[in-house]
Amino acid sequence: MRQRLELPQAPTAVFGASDTMACAAMDLCRDRGIHVPGDISFIGADGTADGQHVYPSLTTVNIPRADAGIRAVEKLVGLIRGQTVANETVLPVELKLRGSCAPTRTAVAA
């Protein structure tokens, strides 16, 4: 996040690989006086409780972790047994909109 903020054109939105990473990046921005979500928006990916306990609360993609784990074990067992397993699995996800996303101030002014 530090490197991204040093770019000539800093990002106006960040998608974190996890809620924990997105929360840490949000903290860094707030420490630098960057307003969340007025200057930059954040979305995390996994739907953990971390995002509910920060301010503003983190928008997240809620991933069904138990189902993902079950599918992973099923594939692993299939591979061990020499079976052909599908290369990709699609699970339903849910976007939980919270306070960390909004149009940027520059977008509102334009």
Tens digits of residue pLDDT in 26-63: 999 999 999 999 999 999 998 888 889 999 999 999 99
Can you give the pTM of this predicted structure? Answer: 0.80
| Domains: count for the chain | 1
- Does residue 44 sit within a domain? yes
Q: Is 58 within a domain?
A: yes
Instruction: Measure the CA angle with vertex 39, ends 35 and 40; round to 5°.
Output: 95
CATH number, position 56: 3.40.50.2300
**Two tokens at 83?**
């079976």
User: In this structure, is residue 57 part of a structural domain?
Assistant: yes
Give the DSSP letter string of 52-97: GGSSSPPEEEE--HHHHHHHHHHHHHHHHTT----S------EEE-
Full domain range(s) for residue 19: 2-63+93-102
